Amino acid sequence: MENNVAPLGYKKLIASLGSDSPVCTIIPHVQTFQEALTQSINGIDIRTDPKLWKSVQVNSPVLFDILCKDDNLHPLPDYMKGLLKLLLKKSVEPFQDKESPSELAVIEKDKIACFPSLPSLRGRGRYSADKAVTGTKERCKKDFKGHPSLLPGIFTIFCSHGICYGFEVMNNHESVNIPFTIFRTRFSKAPNVIVYDFACSLHKYCLRRDPVFFKHTKFFVDRFHWYNHKACSHGYNLDLYPQYTSLNTQINEQANAGLKRIKDMLSYMTQDHFMSHCRLFLYNKNINKQDSC
């Protein structure tokens, strides 16, 4: 390293390890990827195995960037072997000896949510983390401005094709409990990929409550908001993953821009009228989106 300045790839790794993000952001729980790391630790050059080499690229581009550009890491030196061993151990700790809450938990009816194709399958569950008071503050924070007496708005969920699955009225600005509860109660299996502007906090929130359910879910910050995440792991940076180059992460923001046009009309409606107007608006959006496909 010239002039004691680390190459860009190492900077991303060091910054990720120095963040308060879970280790599994850069060491995900993927069998082929963890097999690749294990073989590298055992002195095998995984570049000769296309399947393992590609698994490193698509699952941990932060590590791939280093391994791809630094020939001195094949075979791995002792200091890298020790680091990867520790990271592998830490990456599986959230999932060890953990069980999901009972699937028979009470399902509560919610009058401020609308998910026609995603009925409630189970209760949210109760977790010790809900009552825990952490002694450290989250590094990644967002400031919100809103009306002093009106609710913040609605939380919408879209698929990658731009179809809205539904919405829920928010009680607090960007509360990560809302997406956690939606995924936990309405999805039989957690999504493989979740893109959210506050994915860093949502990821930690999920791992502290039901890590088993979200064990194979990859969390990403959408491209528009990533620049504002200065203290988060680069594992959340969607632009580093080649398989998601064509993924439009602004679908939600684009749809919400349309909702803003009727914001003033919605703000002072009764609850029933508010829900009816939102349902109709998003229904028409979905129909128009399907017609244009």
Six token digits for residue 191: 């999504």
Are 23 and 231 within 8 A, CB to CB? no
Q: In this predicted model, what pLDDT tens digit does every residue of 185-195 receive, in sequence order?
A: 999 999 999 99
Section 276-283 average pLDDT: 89
Q: What is the Cα Rg of the chain in Å?
A: 21
Rounded to two decimals, the pTM is 0.87
pLDDT in tens, 227-250: 888 889 999 999 999 999 988 888
The structure tokens listed for 83 are: 């680091």
Res 257 pLDDT > 70: yes
Average pLDDT value for residue range 275-288: 88
Choose between 8 and 77: higher pLDDT. Answer: 77
In the chain, where does DSSP find H-type helix? 8-18, 31-41, 50-59, 61-69, 78-92, 177-186, 199-209, 223-226, 251-260, 263-267, 271-292
Q: Within 10 A of 69 (CB to CB), how many other CB atoms are there?
A: 12
Q: What is the distance between the alpha carbons of residues 206 and 198, in angstroms, rounded to a whole number?
A: 12
Length of the chain: 293
